[in-house]
Structure 1
Amino acid sequence: MLEQKMKLIEPVVKSFRVAKVFRDNTDRINCIDFSSDGSTLISSSDDDSIIIYDCSKGIQKRTLNSKKYGVDLIHFTHAANTAIHSSTKIDDTIRYLSLHDNKYIRYFPAHSKKVVTLCTSPVDDMFLSGSLDKTLRLWDLRSPNCQGFMQLNGRPVGNFDPEGLIFAVGLNSESIKLYDLRTFDKGPFNTFKLNQDKDCDWTGLKFSPDGKTMLISTNGTNIHLIDAFNGNLLHELTGYANARRVPLEASFSPDSQFVFSGSSDGCVHAWNADNGNKLAVLKAEHTGPVSCVQFNPKYMMLASSCTNMAFWLPTGDDN
C-alpha cells in the first residue's frame, strides 16, 4: 500500500527507488497525468495507446487505443473517468474522452497546427490550449466553441495557478504574461521579462502547488525556477543530460519543496526548490530519455517514463 503520512524530507527524496517497471508501450510515452486524488495515473504514447494505472495496487488497469487520431498531452478532467488529449494524426482537434466506455464526448476543433500546450483548470471545466499556429485558446468542456482566443507572436507554454483564478503564458522563451481568468480579454495584468534562452526553447510551465513559484522546463539543460509574484529568477536547475535536445518535463513535489526532472541518460534528478541545490540523481531502468516525471499529488510516489513506465517509492535508505 502506498505511504501517505511519511514527510518528504531530503533523506526520503534520496531514498527513492524504482518499485515497478511497466513495459507495455512500443514507443515513447509522451505525457503522464495523475488524477487529483492520486489513485490513478494515465499515460499517452506515440504508439497511439492510452494506459490507465492503479497507483495503490501498482498495476495496469486498462489500455485504450486512439489509432485513428493519435494521442498526446493527455490530462484528466475534473471527473476521474474522463480525459482530454491532443491529436497527432488527421488534424489538430482536441478530444474529450470517456475512459469508462472509450467513447468521445466532444471535439474541440480550431487549431491549425500541432497543439503543444494543454492544461485543465484545477477547479472547474475550463481548459487551456496553445499551438504552433501561435494562438492560445480557452475552452469549457461543456461547449465545443472556444471561450477565449489570443493571437501570439510565438510558440506558447501555459498553465493555470493552483486556485484556477489566473493563468500564465510563456512566450518566445523570454517573457511570461499573467492573466486573470475573469478579465483575460483586457490583456495581462503582469508581464515578466527574462533573459531569452538563446540555445533552447521553453517547453513547459507549471505553478508550484503553493502558488508561490513557477517552473519553466526547456529542451536544453536548464530549468528556470521563478518567483510567481515578481518574476525574479530564483534558481537555475542544471546538471542533467539532454544530449538529444528533447522536451524534458520538470515537476514539483506536492509540498512545493522539491523539483524532479528527467534526463537523456535515463536518470531522474532532484533539487531542493528553496536553495536550488542538487539533491540526488536517481538511477532507473529507463532505456531512453526520461521525458515525463511527476510526483503523486496525494501519495509518496513518483512516476517517470521513457518507453517504459517506472513507479518509484521511498525505501528510507539513502545509501
Structure 2
Amino acid sequence: MKEFLKPYDKMKVKLVDSVVRSFKVAKIFRENTDKINAIDFAPNGEHLISCSEDDQIVIYDCEKGTQSRTVNSKKYGVDLIHFTHANNTAIHSSTKVDDTIRYLSLHDNKYLRYFPGHTKKVISLCISPVEDTFLSGSLDKTLRLWDLRSPNCQGLMHLSGRPIAAYDPEGLIFAAGVNSESIKLYDLRSFDKGPFVTFKLNQEKECDWTGLKFSRDGKTILISTNGSVIRLVDAFHGTPLQTFTGYPNNKGISIEASFSPDSQFIFSGSTDGRVHIWNADTGNKVTVLNGDHPGPVQCVQFNPKYMMLASACTNMAFWLPTSEEGGV
C-alpha cells in the first residue's frame, strides 16, 4: 500500500500537458452520505481532511491511499475545514447553533478552543502558512484575524460587502476580496492601517466571488466563484491575466478552483461531475477528466508534495497520473 503515491518533490518529471491528461481515478471513497463541502491537504502532503454536510470529518492517508479516521460534528455541523500546524488538529466553521469557529483535536475529538464573534455565516477561512494565526470572513461583512492561542479576535476589519481572504505564500500579507469587485492587500504587521493597495476589478454580474488563492510563487491570485467563471489576476498590479470558462455550474454553487504546486495549471470542479483543467499561462483548456462523480464536484485540490489530485462530490476520488512521463 505504501506504493500508492510517488513523491511529487522527488520526481524529476515536470507536470506537463501529457501528464495532466493521463490522470485517472486510482481510489474512490464512499463514506459520506451528503456532499463534501471542503477539503484540505496537510502541508507535507501525507494527509487529506474533508468535511461534509452529513456532519462528518474524514481524514485520509494519502501515502497509503486509505481512510484513516472519521470524526463526527453532529452538534455544530462543519464547513471550511483546515489542518493547523500542530499534529492532529484542525479548525472549522459551523453550520448549526451559531457562527463560532472551532479548534478541534482530531486525536480525541475534543474542542481545544472556540472563536466567537461573527454574527452571520462564515464564508472564508484560511490559516497562515507560517504561524498559528488565521483569517475568517463572514456575511456580517467583517474580516477577523485570530491567533489559535487566544479566543479573542486579534484584528477586525469592517468591509463594504461579503469578504473572502487568503494569505500569500510567505504569510506576510493577506488579500481580501470584497463585494466580488475589489482585492485589498494588507500587511500583517500593520493591517490596522488599512490596505496598502486596492485593485478594482469589474464587478461580477452573474455570480459572487467565493474563494481566493495565491499561487505558490506568489505572483498570481486565483478567484473562484459560484458561477461558470474563474479569474486569474496579477498579485502585484491587479491586472486581469486570464478568465477560465467552459465548465458548467448551473446550480449556483461555490466551486473550488486550485493551482498545481508549480502554478502552471488550474483545476476546477463542475456540476457535470468532471474536473476541468486549464493552462495558467495561455488560458487554454488542457483537458476534462471524467471520474464518474455522481454529483457536482465542489472541491478540487492538488497535493502540495505528491503527484496526486483529489476531487469530491459525495464521493472522494484520488487521482494519479498513468503516463510514462509521470513516472508511475
Answer yes or no: is the 8 Å Cα contact 1:44–1:71 preserved in 2: yes
Q: Report the equivalent of 1:281.
A: 288
Residue number among 1, 6, 23 corresponding to 1:3 in the alignment: 6
User: Which amino acid counterpart does residue 3 of structure 1 have in structure 2?
Assistant: K
Structure 1 residue 187 and structure 2 residue 190: aligned? Answer: no
Structure 1 residue 154 and structure 2 residue 157: aligned? Answer: no
Matches for 1:48-67 after TM superposition, within 5 Å: 48-67=55-74
**Counterpart Cα distance in 2 of 1:210 and 1:29:** 29
Give the length in aligned residue pairs. 318
Structure 1 residue 141 and structure 2 residue 148: aligned? Answer: yes
**Counterpart Cα distance in 1 of 2:15 and 2:155:** 39
Structure 1 residue runs of 4 or more that deviate by more than 4 Å after TM superposition: none
Structure 1 residue 272 and structure 2 residue 279: aligned? Answer: yes
User: Which amino acid counterpart does residue 186 of structure 1 have in structure 2?
Assistant: K
SS state at 1:11 partner: helix
Aligned-residue identity in percent: 73
Q: Report the equivalent of 1:309.
A: 316
Task: Structure 2: state its 5+ residue gaps.
Answer: none
Q: What TM-score, normalized to structure 1?
A: 0.98
Task: Structure 1: state its 5+ residue gaps.
Answer: none
- Listed one character per residue, the Cα deviations across residues 32-69 of structure 1 (whole Å, up to 9, x for unaligned) are 00000000000000000000000011100010000000
- Listed one character per residue, the Cα deviations across residues 105-164 of structure 1 (whole Å, up to 9, x for unaligned) are 000000011100000000000100000111100000000000000111111111100000
Structure 1 residue 249 and structure 2 residue 256: aligned? Answer: yes
Farther-moved stretch of structure 1 (2-11 vs 36-45): 2-11
User: Which amino acid counterpart does residue 6 of structure 2 have in structure 1?
Assistant: E
SS state at 1:183 partner: helix
Shift of 1:71: 0.3
Answer yes or no: is the 8 Å Cα contact 1:15–1:317 preserved in 2: no
**Counterpart Cα distance in 2 of 1:230 and 1:14:** 32
Answer yes or no: is the 8 Å Cα contact 1:115–1:130 preserved in 2: yes
Q: What TM-score, normalized to structure 2?
A: 0.96
Shift of 1:317: 6.9
User: Which amino acid counterpart does residue 18 of structure 1 have in structure 2?
Assistant: V
Q: Report the equivalent of 2:107.
A: 100
SS state at 2:20 partner: helix
Shift of 1:288: 1.1
